[in-house]
Amino acid sequence: MSVSRDRSSAQSGSTGETIRIVIHALIIALVIRTFLFQPFSIPSGSMKSTLLIGDYLFVSKYSYGYSRFSFPFGPALFSGRILASVPERGDVIVFKLPRDNSTDYIKRVIGLPGDHIQVIGGVVHINGQPVKRERLEDYVELDDRGNKITVPRYRETLPEGKTYTVLDLVDNGYGDNTPEYVVPEGHFFMMGDNRDNSTDSRFLNMVGYVPFENLVGKAQIIFLSLHDGDRFWEFWKWPRSIRWNRLFSGIE
């Protein structure tokens, strides 16, 4: 009888210890996700060729301080940001879409508060000055049928010296000639690197100016990259589906 009770007690103790370990692990994961790093995946090609569909990346939550959108489900615990740090022009940032405050977008900061931004013939102008743009070799990819597609690629250099590549299929596309935008105080002007395939701040009724409060974090590093169409949970496909050359790449 005592042996049975001892065995039952041991099993109960083992179960309780397992539950405590799981709870502690969940708390640690929540703290890391809220205050340090959060994983995101890239579902669209709006940031090509910097980020590709199927890239999985870590976003640092502490880079710009914390707002209510730093927390899961964005509870209205407070307004504004605490421990705030202003983004630099050229940072790649995950933010909450202003029109619904729930959808995650990822774009590059082009305009800071007070800046005058305009796109003329595909060339970005900041405060009346054109951003330096240098033509590079075409970006090459395959479509769904295996046909080769080439897209003109450029290297842009911002006034502060930040440099990165963009794709621009034509210089007279829908977003290649815009009115002048004046970025309001406390807001930022975001653009995708795939200029003719990006819904961004150029379209005021869809994205527009992004409030500082809506910033979630800075994109830092690609920790996994899978070919378009392959799923993260299909681990048995990984040896074939992983883009090995993109693993642990920093995001410029």
Q: What is the tally of helices (H) and strands (E) in the chain?
A: 2, 17
97-106 exposure pattern, b = at least 16 Cβ within 10 A, e = fewer: bbeeeeeebb
Window from 65-74, 173-182, 211-220 with minimum mean pLDDT: 65-74
125: which strand partners? 118, 130
Which pTM was predicted?
0.85
Element housing 125 (H / E): strand 123-126
**Domains of the chain, start order:** 2-250 (2.10.109.10)
What does the alpha-carbon distance between residue 8 and residue 157 come to, in Å, rounded to a whole number? 69
pLDDT score of 1: 47
User: Looking at the annotation, which residues are catalytic?
Assistant: 46, 107
Neighbours of 126 (CB within 10 A): 18
The predicted-structure confidence for 80-110, as pLDDT tens digits, reads as follows: 899 889 999 999 999 999 999 989 999 999 9
Digit-coded pLDDT (tens) for 150-200 = 999 999 999 999 999 999 988 788 899 999 999 999 999 999 999 999 999
Q: How high is the pLDDT of residue 150?
A: 93
